[in-house]
């Protein structure tokens, strides 16, 4: 009985973790992760379609139905080419009982349940690729009745392709293509060098300056269920960016918006200015806009057409009112571009590794090693009072190496990010970083030339050294805050909040240990059994907390993505 109970406890998290239908992990195998085998008997459910043939642009109704009194609680549905495993087409669903999934790196390429309620019939709509493969299609479904009772590989009748000619990709219909990229216009695309006139799976933007240098024609296009957008920035992060948005409004029509971002929040809408829309349309879930404008590019730090900027591209959903929501995908140009000079650049996704290294070094320096050095010098001399090694106090032999390591890591972090960025973009963050680097560099130099402990002016060194350390610490914390705001692309800015928690934790510790330190001195506590144990306990708790905050932030930096 006990063994069965333990097995049930182990299996329960797996069984109950997918009631909302977010089962993209099962797209390839179609097998639920329930740690049970699929039923081999005939399924009491069916998959039917409303036609026997299809052509490009058709809207095919697919029905999942119980053929007996038994209901199903979950399902997974996709369309495959007959004789192959390629997932094709896209689904649209009723939001009340089903949802779409991203499978095979394609949005809306599968459908699943949205809750574990009993269902006897579900209808979804499937749309083939606009290009049309010319191959027969068969729908494949998995039906889940209970966590241990499910059927895999329930198929529909085959639909033959009946179209004689395939509809052109949306880019061709909208007259947006890669022709002239690097010759007459500047282009950014993902995948690299994709052509939206040849494939609908292409995120693309181009900028073409008129011969007189006063007007720019912009094209942007990509598959999306709400909007596509691009922006000009002085760095590869969201903030102080000149943005153009091509998105659907509350009526389903596509419009062009001009906006400006001040951080990782919804951009502020700007007047369109002197802008003329040439085309704005949506076709088979591909949104595209073409417009011309005399508006110069302005990031508030730089303005004009002949400046260099990073180009940021984002796409995502919009709500029923046409308001853009948090993007589901982003990428940036790998270098700054001058749209007055026709160029093509590769797209970068994710935060560059060198930026992550910079952030990690600063966090480790000023959340662990630097803090350790300061605490040892301020509070822990008494714990090792009178103890020496190599003719020096033990606390001093701890303080000097960890502070030298902190200074070295700070200088390395500054050098690698400055060499990478080669500018001062980023608002207050680089300014704070420079101040931290300069003061950190000065600190060991001043310490090296300090006067002896018995010198009458020694107190000046002690106060100067301590105050400079405090200023460095405060500036470093401020620099980390501003840096996390740049690198944290989440809607909640959770890394900034974790850093705020760390700051509160440090303040609480300093207040606690300073109070203990002063009380011990005022009462002349000399008991070696009590005082040192309390000191050690406080410091141990402090560093355990620091370690937890540090790990959380390092994980956040490691998984961070650049946010246009």
CATH of the domain at 339: 2.60.40.1210
- Which of 110, 129, 161 terminates a domain? The answer is 161
Note whether 110 and 230 are same-domain residues. Answer: no
Q: CB count, 10 Å around CB of 9?
A: 9
Share of the chain above pLDDT 70, in %: 84
Q: Which residues contact 231 (CB under 8 A, 6 or more apart)?
A: 241, 242, 243, 244, 261, 311, 312, 314, 564
The strand pairing partners of 16, in sequence order, are none
Considering only residues 238 and 141, tell me which one the structure prediction assigns the higher pLDDT.
141
Q: pLDDT digit string (tens) for 288-310?
A: 999 999 998 888 777 777 788 99
Q: Which residues contact 168 (CB under 8 A, 6 or more apart)?
A: 130, 131, 197
**pLDDT over threshold 60, residue 220:** yes
Residue 373 Cα to chain centre, angstroms: 34
Q: CB count, 10 Å around CB of 114?
A: 19
Residue 41 belongs to some domain of the structure: yes
Q: Any idea which residue has 């560093």 for tokens?
A: 543
SS3 328: coil
In this prediction, residue 20 has a pLDDT band, given cuts at 50, 70 and 90, of low
Residue 499 belongs to some domain of the structure: yes
Residue 37 belongs to some domain of the structure: yes
Note whether 334 and 384 are same-domain residues. Answer: no
Residue 150 Cα to chain centre, angstroms: 35
The strand pairing partners of 537, in sequence order, are none
* CATH classification at residue 149: 2.60.40.4060
Q: Any idea which residue has 């240098």 for tokens?
A: 213
Note whether 254 and 225 are same-domain residues. Answer: yes
DSSP H or E run through 392? strand 392-393
Q: How far apart are CA 446 and CA 461, in angstroms?
A: 8
Note whether 331 and 389 are same-domain residues. Answer: no
Least confident span in 226-240, 351-365, 372-386, 471-485 = 372-386
Least confident span in 170-184, 331-345, 531-545 = 531-545
Note whether 359 and 275 are same-domain residues. Answer: no
> What was the pLDDT predicted at 2?
40
DSSP H or E run through 276? strand 275-283
Residue-by-residue DSSP string for 203-246: EEEEEEE-TTSS-EEEEEEEE-SEEEEEEEESSSSSSSEEEEEE
Average of pLDDT values for 4-21?
43
Residue 112 belongs to some domain of the structure: yes
Tokens of 387: 């103890």
What distances in angstroms separate CA 174 from CA 163, 249, 289, 322, one per listed residue?
Answer: 21, 19, 8, 22
Note whether 507 and 547 are same-domain residues. Answer: yes
Q: pLDDT digit string (tens) for 87-134?
A: 888 898 876 778 888 886 677 889 998 888 899 999 999 988 765 567
Q: Which residues contact 331 (CB under 8 A, 6 or more apart)?
A: 190, 203, 313, 347, 348, 349, 562
Note whether 464 and 537 are same-domain residues. Answer: yes
Are β-strands 347-348 and 203-209 bridged in parallel, bridged antiparallel, or unpaired?
unpaired
Residue 563 belongs to some domain of the structure: no
Residue 4 belongs to some domain of the structure: no
Q: How far apart are CA 314 and CA 328, in angstroms?
A: 8
Residue 8 belongs to some domain of the structure: no
Q: Any idea which residue has 């998105």 for tokens?
A: 247
For the beta sheet containing 106-113, the strands, ordered from the edge strand earlier in sequence to the opposite edge, are 98-103, 106-113, 74-81, 137-146, 149-155
> What was the pLDDT predicted at 205?
95
> What was the pLDDT predicted at 385?
58
Answer for the pair 194, 204: CB distance below 8 angstroms, yes or no.
yes
Note the maximum CA span of the chain: 99
Q: How far apart are CA 276 and CA 291, in angstroms?
A: 6
Are β-strands 149-155 and 160-161 bridged in parallel, bridged antiparallel, or unpaired?
unpaired
First to last CA, the chain: 56
* CATH classification at residue 459: 1.20.120
> What was the pLDDT predicted at 521?
65
Considering only residues 46 and 18, tell me which one the structure prediction assigns the higher pLDDT.
46
Tokens of 553: 């932030």
In this prediction, residue 346 has a pLDDT band, given cuts at 50, 70 and 90, of confident
Note whether 128 and 223 are same-domain residues. Answer: no
DSSP H or E run through 12? helix 2-15
Backbone angles phi, psi at 451, to 5 degrees: -80, 170
**pLDDT over threshold 50, residue 320:** yes
- Which of 298, 329, 348 terminates a domain? The answer is 348
Burial tier of 278 (Cβ tally within 10 Å: 0-12, 13-18, 19+): middle
Q: Any idea which residue has 């840096």 for tokens?
A: 483
Expressed as residue numbers, the domain containing 499 is 353-558
Backbone angles phi, psi at 154, to 5 degrees: -80, 120
The strand pairing partners of 317, in sequence order, are 226
Burial tier of 486 (Cβ tally within 10 Å: 0-12, 13-18, 19+): buried
SS3 202: coil
> What was the pLDDT predicted at 452?
77
Q: Which residues contact 517 (CB under 8 A, 6 or more apart)?
A: 379
**pLDDT over threshold 90, residue 318:** no
Tokens of 170: 């949306």
In this prediction, residue 179 has a pLDDT band, given cuts at 50, 70 and 90, of very high
Note whether 181 and 154 are same-domain residues. Answer: no
Note whether 376 and 228 are same-domain residues. Answer: no
- Which of 125, 142, 161 terminates a domain? The answer is 161
Angle at CA of residue 388, ends 387 and 393, nearest 5°: 95
Q: How many domains does the chain have?
A: 3
Cα torsion at 28, 30, 34, 39 (round to 10°)? -140
Residue 3 belongs to some domain of the structure: no
Q: CB count, 10 Å around CB of 525?
A: 14
What region, left, alpha or beta, does residue 409 occupy, with left being phi > 0 and alpha being psi -120 to 50 degrees?
A: alpha
Answer for the pair 283, 174: CB distance below 8 angstroms, yes or no.
yes
Highest mean pLDDT: which range of 99-103, 129-133, 218-222, 542-546: 218-222
Average of pLDDT values for 486-513?
81
pTM score of the predicted model:
0.44
Answer for the pair 421, 483: CB distance below 8 angstroms, yes or no.
no
Q: How far apart are CA 417 and CA 409, in angstroms?
A: 12
Q: How far apart are CA 187 and CA 164, in angstroms?
A: 34
Q: Which residues contact 224 (CB under 8 A, 6 or more apart)?
A: 285, 286, 287, 315, 316, 317
Note whether 368 and 508 are same-domain residues. Answer: yes
> What was the pLDDT predicted at 65?
93
Entry field: residues in the chain: 564
DSSP H or E run through 127? strand 121-127
In this prediction, residue 4 has a pLDDT band, given cuts at 50, 70 and 90, of very low
Note whether 195 and 90 are same-domain residues. Answer: no
Average pLDDT taken over every residue of the chain: 81
Q: How far apart are CA 187 and CA 203, in angstroms?
A: 11
SS3 507: helix
Considering only residues 66 and 368, tell me which one the structure prediction assigns the higher pLDDT.
66
């Amino acid at each position: 009985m006990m063994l069965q109970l333990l097995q049930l406890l182990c299996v329960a998290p797996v069984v109950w973790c997918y009631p909302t239908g977010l089962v993209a992990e099962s797209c390839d195998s179609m097998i639920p992760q329930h740690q049970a085998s699929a039923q081999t008997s005939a399924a009491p459910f069916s998959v039917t379609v409303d036609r026997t043939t299809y052509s490009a642009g058709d809207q095919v109704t697919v029905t999942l139905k119980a053929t007996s009194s038994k209901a199903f609680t979950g399902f997974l549905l996709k369309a495959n080419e007959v004789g192959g495993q390629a997932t094709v087409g896209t689904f649209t669903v009723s939001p009340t009982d089903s949802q779409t999934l991203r499978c095979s790196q394609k949005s809306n390429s599968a459908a699943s349940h949205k809750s574990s309620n009993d269902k006897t019939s579900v209808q979804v709509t499937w749309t083939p690729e606009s290009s049309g493969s010319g191959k027969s299609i068969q729908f494949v479904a998995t039906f889940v009745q209970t966590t241990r009772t499910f059927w895999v590989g329930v198929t529909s009748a085959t639909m033959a392709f009946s179209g004689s000619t395939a509809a052109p990709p949306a880019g061709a219909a909208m007259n947006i293509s890669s022709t002239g990229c690097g010759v007459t216009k500047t282009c950014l695309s993902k995948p690299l060098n994709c052509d939206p006139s040849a494939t609908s799976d292409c995120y693309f933007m181009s900028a073409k300056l008129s011969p007189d240098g006063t007007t720019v024609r912009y094209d942007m296009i990509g598959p999306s269920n709400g909007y596509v957008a691009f922006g000009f920035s002085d760095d590869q992060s969201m903030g102080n960016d000149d943005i153009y948005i091509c998105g659907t409004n509350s009526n389903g029509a596509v419009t062009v918006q001009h906006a400006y971002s001040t951080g990782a929040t919804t951009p502020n809408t700007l007047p369109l200015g002197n802008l003329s829309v040439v085309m704005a349309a949506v076709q088979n879930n591909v949104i595209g806009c073409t417009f011309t404008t005399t508006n110069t590019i302005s990031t508030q730090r730089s303005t004009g057409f002949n400046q260099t900027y990073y180009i940021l591209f984002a796409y995502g959903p919009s709500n029923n009112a046409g308001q853009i929501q948090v993007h589901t995908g982003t990428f940036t140009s790998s270098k700054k571009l001058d749209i007055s000079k026709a160029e093509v650049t590769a797209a970068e996704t994710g935060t560059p590794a060198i930026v992550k290294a910079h952030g990690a070094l600063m966090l480790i320096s000023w959340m662990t090693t630097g803090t350790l050095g300061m605490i040892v010098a301020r509070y822990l001399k008494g714990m090792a009072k009178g103890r020496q090694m190599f003719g020096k106090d033990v606390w001093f032999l701890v303080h000097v190496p960890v502070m030298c390591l902190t200074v070295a890591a700070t200088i390395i972090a500054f050098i690698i990010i400055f060499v990478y960025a080669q500018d001062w973009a980023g608002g207050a963050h680089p300014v704070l970083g420079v101040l931290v680097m300069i003061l950190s560099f000065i600190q060991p130099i001043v310490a090296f030339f300090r006067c002896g402990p018995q010198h009458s002016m020694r107190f000046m060194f002690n106060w100067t050294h301590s105050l400079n350390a405090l200023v460095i610490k405060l500036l470093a914390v401020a620099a980390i805050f501003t840096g996390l705001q740049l690198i944290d692309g989440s809607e909640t800015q959770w890394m900034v909040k974790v850093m705020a928690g760390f700051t509160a934790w440090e303040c609480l510790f300093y207040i606690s240990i300073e109070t203990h330190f002063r009380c011990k001195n005022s009462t002349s506590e000399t008991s070696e059994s009590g005082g040192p144990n309390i000191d050690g306990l406080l410091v141990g708790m402090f560093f355990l907390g620091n370690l937890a905050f540090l790990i959380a932030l390092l994980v956040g930096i490691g998984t961070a993505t650049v946010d246009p």
